[in-house]
Structure 1
Amino acid sequence: MTIWVPDLPEDSRPTYLAVADAIGAAVRLGRLRPGDQLPTHRALADLLGVNVSTITRAYREAARRLLVGGEVGRGTYVLGLASEEALFAFHSRPEGGVIDLSTNRPPVGLAEDDLAKGLAALLHREGGRFLNYPSPGDTRLHREAAAAWMARRGVSADPERVLICAGAQHAADTALGLLSEHEDLACEALVYPGLKAVARQSHRRLHPMPMDEEGLLPSGLEAACRAGLRVAALSPTLNNPTTATMGLKRREQIVALARKHDLILVEEDVYGLLQEGAPPPLAALAPERVLYVTGLSKTVAPGLRLGYLLLPPLLQARAREAEHHTTWYVTALSMALGTAWLEDGTAWHRLLAQRKELAARHRLCAQNLRHLAWRGAPHCPHVWLPAPPGGPERFTRRALEVGVVVVPSDVFAATRAVQEPGLRISIGAAPDRATLAQGLARLEGVAEALRAEGT
């Protein structure tokens, strides 16, 4: 059992919520790790001087957030998913001086009148129909619009092989569900938290492969194939968290190895259109063996919850079987608005506005992180800080002390061993450039203080 007692702040929150929040913060900062057993309800109640029912309610709330789990007779344990879920526990706007640079999302405030205009046009034309399920015609039109969107990335997509999902995370979940006969999954050593969540939910073991500044090393993929792995999940463009992007030659090497070993690839490409001139996706190079995952959340608007899974021809027969796990999760209104924006150019204009805003935010990184060796492409919504002074966890704790929330590398590590210690700074999360500049300046100050301490 872990001897952990939260230091509860004096505020107006109910005590049970304060305890649940403290569990999330402790997991994110590495003070509680996956598998740690929490004190019993009565023990923690005695330590905090509260009723047992308060702790019971707190643990129940933490379980609802997927921070902890428990079984009768075994106790309450921290879940491996907890650190990923904790990324979404912070407010997007500064409150009490806290600047959240932890959640990867598009910058806010870009052409927000698009929503009012788009909804007004839809309601004027079709009204209450959007309180019903999407019709087969709605689905067909949106598949065609999604296929045209993928064509902008150089992917030739037959609309009949496109599954509409409730976001790219849902699309990735669906992709692995269609490959249920393969239990283990090869992946990059540092992966986006959603992949860890999907793998854990489907009871798959992740097998990390080594990376360099260009992403996955071909030698690592070769070794995984020789070890018997037959499915690999990869993010070759603007990798989350490292920002690595594979060059064309590296991609061709990866595809050649996949063909040599009959490997199936699940390609996550949600940032692909953000980077101007990005090399073609793996799905364009090896369409016969790539399940291609993309969507509109990272490029157009997260609230639309529209993701896409393009299946290779060998899996096309499973497309219609999976529709009840995909299309039925998407509302008629989201689908219609997404179709309209994809067809009339609004989606593309929003993406171009995001490129421009992210380029400006990267210039702020250059100005305010002058003494830190950060990495990031001009249109990437996050930057990577390898080997920060004091180490990732200590730097993250000190950043939180000065009111900035960033994410250490253990959240992204496919296993407990972290190949490249670092931390991710989500520059799109700040509500405006001035707030971002303030947060970056605080991080620079943390680095200077840690260096002065001789760490």
Structure 2
Amino acid sequence: MQTSTRANASNANSDLQNNRPCAPVDFTRSIPPASLDIAEGLKSALTSLAAQPTVGTLLDGSIAGGTIEDRLTGARLLSRRVGEAIDPNRIIVTNGTQSALHLLFRNCTRSDCPVLTEAFTYGVLKGIASHTKIRLQGLALDDEGLDPAAVSEALEQSPVQIKLLYCNPTIHNPTTATMSLERRKELVALARKHSIRIVEDDVLGLLHPEAPPPIAALAPDLTWYIMGLTKCLAHGMRIAYLLAPSVDDAQGLLERERRYSSWFPAPLHAAIACQWIDDGTAERATSAIRREMDERHELARSVLRQHCFRGSQGSMHIWLNLPRPWSNLDFQQAAEKQGVLVRTADKFAVHESISTPAIRLSLSSPPDRQSLVSGLTRLASLLDDGMPARPIAGQDAS
């Protein structure tokens, strides 16, 4: 059972005051907190699969894009967010969001065409772009995420026909911004005007049913929509559902990529995902994760109440602004000395020239609420005390 906010904060402060050794607290990994529903669901799924006469086929080999059962289940899951029934032939099942992005970057643009995205974006996107020899063009953000004016300017001024725009409209990683319905419609209008496709990463969408409908619901014919299960179910569940704009788009991508099996979904994982989605385990686990994150946000607001940060209720991370004269590197190093690991804004910047003094704190990654409060309390102390003065050159720093 979790302890109360006040008790957690009191214990953390006591440890600091008594100079007890503190275990390192890692805020860098955006992973869901462990759920008892997942543990019980895994036992049930494995027992059920073991009783099936075809269980041995789950290790026979992978199928490009998943089986018809996998795609039907994916279509049912995605319909919860999109708001209408989905043709399963538009679904491509992959072994995670990163594989889906590799597929799209390899097949839906050219090396001489930049992919538009947020100036601060999913940290792995730069690596995927590098592997696929695609250049990213980072655009300005505001309180709702990607700025349509910046998108319009980039499209108008580009010397080549841009083909793809990648965005994360719901609980943006790393800033936590969520686009309004009006903002999503503006992006759709720009995409139609300039004949581009939108890649919508909705990795946290199931955790935020209160968010506006996805862009894929507003413009299914021009949106490649991705929903992975690593955030809303379990970090080890390497399954993602890629919804193509049309059946022809899905079939065309599959035909071009059948020879490369590295992205194929693992049959055992896919079968477990199917059972969890069908028997309600997935929905129960997602609800449990959301409840836990709601509680962790309460703790964060309590500990960091004197400091400037943004975060949406239930989101896995917050975006903490660093006051002057802290730099990202100075704060990261000072936090490490206090046994706290953080991820700074520059890790998410598309271009090295773009920087802001801020850190993303993944509230989901500490194993329990007491560890969370302990780490946040140490960070709050750093912010309260301010950056230590640097010794003058030649002066004894002791």
State TM-score, norm by structure 1. 0.75
Q: How far did 1:301 drift?
A: 1.4
Match of 1:4 in 2: none
Question: Runs in 1 of length 4+ with deviation above 6 angstroms?
Answer: 135-138
Relative contact order: is structure 1 or structure 2 higher (C-alpha 8 Å, sep ≥ 6)? 2
CA contact (8 A) 1:163 1:323 kept: no
What are the superposed Cα offsets for residues 205-230 of structure 1, whole Å, 9 maximum, x if unpaired?
Answer: 11111001110111000011112333
Q: How far apart, CA to CA, are the structure 1 residues paired with 2:136 and 2:43?
A: 43
Q: How far apart, CA to CA, are the structure 2 residues paired with 1:282 and 1:396?
A: 36
The amino acid across from 2:23 in the alignment is: G
Identity of aligned residues (%): 34
Match of 2:138 in 1: 208
What are the superposed Cα offsets for residues 247-274 of structure 1, whole Å, 9 maximum, x if unpaired?
Answer: 0011111111111111211111101111
Q: How far apart, CA to CA, are the structure 2 residues paired with 1:136 and 1:184?
A: 28
Q: In the alignment, which of 164, 169, 172 is matched to residue 239 of structure 1?
A: 172
Q: In the alignment, which of 261, 273, 276 is matched to residue 209 of structure 2?
A: 276
Match of 1:99 in 2: 25
Q: Does 1:438 align with 2:342?
A: no
Q: How far did 1:309 drift?
A: 1.2
Match of 2:365 in 1: 429
CA contact (8 A) 1:391 1:421 kept: yes
Which moves more between the two structures, 241-250 or 273-282?
A: 273-282
Q: In the alignment, which of 246, 249, 262 is matched to residue 315 of structure 1?
A: 249
The amino acid across from 1:114 in the alignment is: G
Which moves more between the two structures, 375-384 or 122-131?
A: 122-131
What are the superposed Cα offsets for residues 384-443 of structure 1, whole Å, 9 maximum, x if unpaired?
Answer: 012345122211111111001010011000000225431100011000111101111011
Match of 1:351 in 2: 286
Matched position secondary structure for 1:304: coil
Matches within 5 A, 1:1-40: none
Q: How far did 1:195 drift?
A: 1.0
Q: Which consecutive residues of structure 1, in runs of 5 or more, have no partner in the other structure?
A: 1-94
Which moves more between the two structures, 397-406 or 229-238?
A: 229-238
Match of 2:328 in 1: 392
Q: How far did 1:335 drift?
A: 1.1
Q: How far did 1:106 drift?
A: 0.4
The total of aligned residue pairs comes to 360
Q: In the alignment, which of 90, 105, 112 is matched to residue 161 of structure 1?
A: 90
Q: Which consecutive residues of structure 2, in runs of 5 or more, have no partner in the other structure?
A: 1-20, 391-398
Matched position secondary structure for 2:386: helix
Note closer, same or farther for the CA distance 1:447–1:311 as it changes in structure 2 (3 Å cut).
same
Matches within 5 A, 1:276-315: 276-313=209-246, 315=249
Q: In the alignment, which of 58, 62, 65 is matched to residue 130 of structure 1?
A: 58
Matched position secondary structure for 1:102: coil
The amino acid across from 2:26 in the alignment is: D
State TM-score, norm by structure 2. 0.85
CA contact (8 A) 1:388 1:395 kept: no
Matches within 5 A, 1:243-282: 243-282=176-215
The amino acid across from 1:350 in the alignment is: A
Match of 1:50 in 2: none
Q: How far did 1:134 drift?
A: 4.6
Q: Does 1:145 align with 2:73?
A: yes
Match of 2:45 in 1: 118
Which moves more between the two structures, 177-186 or 245-254?
A: 177-186
